[in-house]
Chains A and B, each alone.
Chain A
Amino acid sequence: MLAKIHITLKKDVLDPQGSVIANSLKSLGFDNVNDVRQGKFIELEINSNTKEEAEKQCNDMCEKLLANLVIEDYSVEIEN
């Protein structure tokens, strides 16, 4: 199965990189961009019998290593 994991900064955490990206987009003429938040995308192949089991394992991976829960949120999507 293929797991797609998004890791994003929590809403109350400042994202200076996002702000700089937003400014650069505006300078390119994308005036309607209001806010940019930068995150990470991790794709991993995992052997598992069920989607539920794979999701549970990925959640565990995020909590133990892939995300830092002090500053980041994560979401997991499993595809067959």
Chain B
Amino acid sequence: MKTHVIVFPGSNCDRDVAVAIQNIIGSSPEMVWHKDSTINQSDLIVVPGGFSYGDYLRCGAMASTSPIMKSVIENANKGVPVMGICNGFQILIESGLLQGALMRNSSLSFICRDIIIKPTNTKTIFTNKSTISKMPIAHNEGNYFANSNQIKEIEDNDQIAFQYCDENGDINSHSNPNGSINNIAGVFNKSKNVLGMMPHPERAAESIHGCDDGRNIFESLLS
């Protein structure tokens, strides 16, 4: 598998996700600087977490105009799997590859803690091995919003990837860390080859992390 990780000024999960890809998928990812303009051939592009461009204007807004994003969008439109984690999710939303918006957490606080998510659609390349999983979130702007028409469209097309839930898998307001509408933690594009999610599977990918539930997302990509 040929894999790529995009690196922006301010990315800080690029190395973590590269290690997860190396250890689980067995591919040594090419690290692609945001000023590069092309990714010729790829089987997986990851837009990692961090604070690209210092979150100026809106999280992900500046990065979405970086030269490399044109190529990411072209690859996504050709069907190449593209995954955005945390700030990567914000960038994919700002670039128009995913619907909705990520607003400031309803608590107005940065949240860094473990949460539990449940896969909503397990028939995709990213989630075919997914189960209820624990992994960390670390964000200030993860409050997913879409208006009622967009939510209906996303639901009707099975585009919700993950929802925050409790240990029993119940999706309720107590298990919603950031105010996301319908507890949405991650979404797909219409053709399900683009995934954006706020939780960090790469930070729960081996036993030394204290939890390796995040592996199932990378393992799904292998099958």
Name A's B-contacting residues (CB within 8 A). Answer: 12-14, 16-17, 20, 65-66, 68, 70-71
Contacts and interface: CB of A to CB of B under 8 A. Distances in A.
Contact of B108 (A12, A20, A70, A71): A20
Contacts of B65: 65
Contacts of A16: 104, 106-108, 179
Nearest to A13: B145
Interface in B86-108: 94, 99-101, 103-104, 106-108
Interface string B26-69: 00000000000000000000000000000001100100010000
B61 A70 contact: no
B147 interface: yes
B1 interface: no
Interface of chain B: mostly helix, strand, loop or mixed: loop
Given A65-B57, A65-B65, A70 B150 contact: yes
Contact of A71 (B57, B145, B179): B145
Contacts of B101: 68, 70-71
Interface residues of B, number: 18
B150 A68 contact: no
A70 B145 contact: yes
Contacts of B145: 13, 70-71
A72 B58 CA distance: 11
A71 B103 contact: yes
Given A65-B57, A65-B61, A70 B146 contact: yes
Given A70-B100, A71-B103, 18 more contacts: A13-B145, A14-B106, A16-B104, A16-B106, A16-B107, A16-B179, A17-B104, A17-B108, A65-B57, A65-B61, A65-B65, A68-B58, A68-B61, A68-B101, A70-B146, A70-B150, A71-B101, A71-B145
A24 to B, nearest CB: 12
A70 B147 contact: yes
A9 B57 CA distance: 14
Contacts of B147: 12, 70
Contacts of A71: 101, 103, 145
Interface in B129-167: 145-147, 150
